[in-house]
Amino acid sequence: MQNTGLKTAAIEKISHKEYFNIAVSVDCVIFGYEEKQLKVLLIKSDLKEFEGLWSLLGDLVTPNENLDDAPYRVLLERTGLKDVYLEQVHSFGDVHRHPSGRVVTIAYYSLVNIKSHKLNLTDNELHWHNVAELNSMAFDHKLILDTCLQRLQEKVLEHPVVFNLLPEKFSLRELQDLYQAILGQELDRRNFRKRINLKNWLVDLNEMEEDVPHRPGKLYKLKSGLKKISTDLNRSKPVKTHLV
């Protein structure tokens, strides 16, 4: 294997059984939002090593599917949703991360509107959990969750992705509550509105909230053309340096 990279010597060994004993999986951190809480969809682990603990939804990548298609498949199977927002985050591959064998997993997070899909919650091993209240999880899934949450926090500051978690129409108050749930901190209402306005993401619908127990706020929706399903690998705009 030395000094070959993926050159001939290594490639030849791909046909050798010894190099095929690492399995590849994907794990999905499926974020939702409800009642001012950021949620994550988890399933009860049924490994005896992790009895009582919760784990992310994942599956092995099959030989005939593209890596980035696997999390879509998992999501479709679990939630029935297509066209969800998905972003690849990081790969985890410590030798002993999975008790049953060597599994390298690629972590993705996705943003889904809890209301817009009927979970197979008859399968009562599948539940939404408050992200803020989660402690230990099965496998290294707490680390994966934390890593994905961190990525999400960075993402929402500059990109209009949180709208995948909201209904079509929403008030600025709802939007701010969502940002606060994701970022884990209180935001100043006046500065928040200024900032969001500056981003130019929203359309004023000239409608008002209804059935709220207080003064109704104006309703907005995301500008058409800004809704993203997945993250482009290739950046369209040049880097903002702040160093010029």
Partner DNA sequence: AAAGAATGTGTTTTAAGTACATATTATTAT
Partner DNA sequence: ATAATAATATGTACTTAAAACACATTCTTT
Distance CA 67, CA 230 (A): 14
User: Helix 141-158 crosses helix 172-183 at what angle (to 10 degrees)?
Assistant: 140
DSSP 101: S
Euclidean distance between CA atoms 41 and 112, whole angstroms? 10
Does residue 122 bind its own copies (CB under 8 A)? no
Nearest-angstrom CA–CA distance, 118 and 73: 17
Q: Which is nearer to its own copies, 168 or 188 (CB)?
A: 188
Residue 232 contact among its own copies, DNA, none, beta carbon within 5 to 8 Å by kind: none
E strand map for the chain: 23-34, 37-44, 54-55, 57-60, 85-92, 103-111, 126-130, 170-171, 202-208, 218-222
d(CA 192, CA 157): 11
Binding mask 170-209 for DNA (x = CB under 7 A): -xxx--------------xxxx-xxx--x---------x-
Residue nearer to DNA on the CB measure, 14 or 244: 244
Among 206, 214, 224, 239, binds its own copies (CB under 8 A): 239
**H-type alpha helices, the chain:** 8-14, 70-79, 141-158, 172-183, 189-199
- Return the residue of 21, 122, 185, 241 that touches DNA, per CB under 7 A: 241
Stretch that binds its own copies, among 49-57, 110-118, 206-214, 222-230 (CB under 8 A): 49-57
Q: Which is nearer to DNA, 6 or 198 (CB)?
A: 198
Contact between 243 and DNA per CB under 7 A = yes
**What residues from 110 to 129 belong to the interface with DNA (CB under 7 A)?**
none
- Residue 171 interface partner, choices DNA, its own copies, none, CB cut-off 5-8 Å depending on type: DNA
CB closer to its own copies, 8 vs 135: 8
Single-letter amino acid, residue 191: N
Among 47, 218, 229, 231, binds DNA (CB under 7 A): 218
216 contact, one of its own copies, DNA, none, CB 5-8 Å limit per kind = DNA
173 binding partner (options DNA, its own copies, none; Cβ < 5 to 8 Å by kind): DNA
Residue keyed to tokens 């410590």: 94
Whole-angstrom CA distances from 74 to 20, 43, 134, 193, 243 are: 23, 13, 22, 36, 42
Which range, of 127-135, 160-168, 187-195, 210-218, touches its own copies by CB under 8 A?
187-195
Instruction: Give the interface with DNA as residue ranges (CB under 7 A).
Output: 171-173, 188-191, 193-195, 198, 208, 213-218, 240-244
